[in-house]
Amino acid sequence: MLQVSFLREEKERVLEGLKKRNFKQLELVDEAIQLDDERKKTQQELDSQLAEINKISKEIGILMREGKKEEAEAAKSKTAQYKESSKELTTKLSEIETSLLNILYQIPNIPYHLVKPGVSADDNEIVYQSHEVHGLGEGAIPHWELAKKYNLIDFELGVKIAGAGFPVYLGKGARLQRALVQYFLDKNTDAGYLEVNPPHVVNEASGYGTGQLPDKEGQMYHVGIDDLYLIPTAEVPVTNIYRDVILEEKDLPIKNTAFSQCYRREAGSYGAHVRGLNRLHQFEKVEIVRIEKPENSYAALEEMVAHVKSILEDLELPFRILRLCGGDQGFTSAMTYDFEVWSAAQEKWLEVSSVSNFETFQANRLKCRFKGDGRTQLAHTLNGSAMALPRIMAALLENNQVEGGIKLPKKVAEYARFEMID
């Protein structure tokens, strides 16, 4: 959530940034500023009346001690009028603050200056590609057929138990999943990330804190009776560890990693492009989260990008890195890099990670602050997938087809404790 002071002081920059995103409701910026002006005016009136009530209350005590009963009673009557008026002002102030918050929740983050304007994924910049890619040629089959052939994943059994988008991993498929999770966690902890095992459900305040609510409410599974949400990513519970927290400057940076199941409704997703592991309602992911000083956050972002890049190099998968354009960025992000792996059998790129800097956007909602330079200020938050498993699994199966089975890359085989799926 952007601060009103930022909207006011950097209005032109804000409007230009929102145009980069193709955001159409530019009038919300002026509405927020006007409501904030009204809030300040109402607060001043309320403070003035409360001060007057306090002043008259002291005078009443003096008048009573001096035996001036009639004057004291007149003062009490005046105080009652002020109290009634202040009650009305308090209600008005609360309504203004709620309206202001609702508007601020609708305004997305402002893109970093390196982010280019654009409308869709077609306008994203390719900033790195590991090597040239090509299909596997005649005889190559997609991962959903490989999974069935080698009894790795049963999609139909998942439909029976829960519904489409909830696969059941079997045998070497389950072992490969477990091996990848362990490898990702080891890679992250070796890089200085503290492992966290968070809840897989969060309350409404946590959803608002990281920006999933109200923006992605329709994409989250809601447990109505308990008013809890199944997490779409470990980013949500891990980042909320620092909600309403004032950190010490010496504690930064904070680096956390977490493995979790992720749950996404993916409403409206159907067709050939979501077949197999391409898009699921439940999947496994390992996340990295950082809390940084503002001046260090973009260096931290590049460090996170290099870290995810090293994971994909270990997996020996063809991949590319894209810097998202304004129109394709998430609501809360100031700058995002996407990682895509090449699916040789499907002959298309599959997104497997997003690494983002949110600057103060999440921290302002979370009230995640730190003490430094003699003042308390908002921290910067960052997160990234390191890694999401379904499409990594799909690419590993499809890109490593050999005569007689699937030969795993060296690092994967080391963790899985088998080299071949046959």
Q: Which two tokens stand for residue 45?
A: 């009136």
Ligand-binding annotation for 85, yes or no, is no
Helix (H), strand (E) at residue 19:
helix 11-20
Q: Would the annotation count 264 as a binding residue?
A: yes
Residue 181, annotated as binding a ligand: no
- Alpha helix stretches (DSSP H) within 281-409: 297-315, 361-366, 389-399
Contact, 350 vs 202, CB < 8 A? no
Print burial letters for 348-357: b (CB count within 10 Å at least 16), e (below 16).
Answer: ebbebbbbbb
Known binding residue 351? Answer is yes
Type of residue numbered 84: E
Coil, strand or helix: which one is 379?
coil
3-class secondary-structure state, position 110: coil
Rounded CA-CA distance 158/160 in Å is 5
HSE-CB of 336 using CA atoms within 13 angstroms = 25
Q: Name residue, tokens 């503002």.
A: 294
Helices (H), 66-170: 69-104, 143-149, 155-161
265 is an annotated ligand-binding site residue:
yes
202: closest CA among 257, 165, 239? 239
287 is in an annotated binding site: yes
Q: Does 347 count as an annotated binding residue? A: no
Is 419 annotated in a binding site? The answer is: no
Contact 92, 42 (CB under 8 A): yes
Is 354 annotated for ligand binding? yes
Annotated binding site for ATP: 264-266, 351-354
Annotated binding site for L-serine: 233, 264, 287, 383
Annotated binding site: 233, 264-266, 287, 351-354, 383
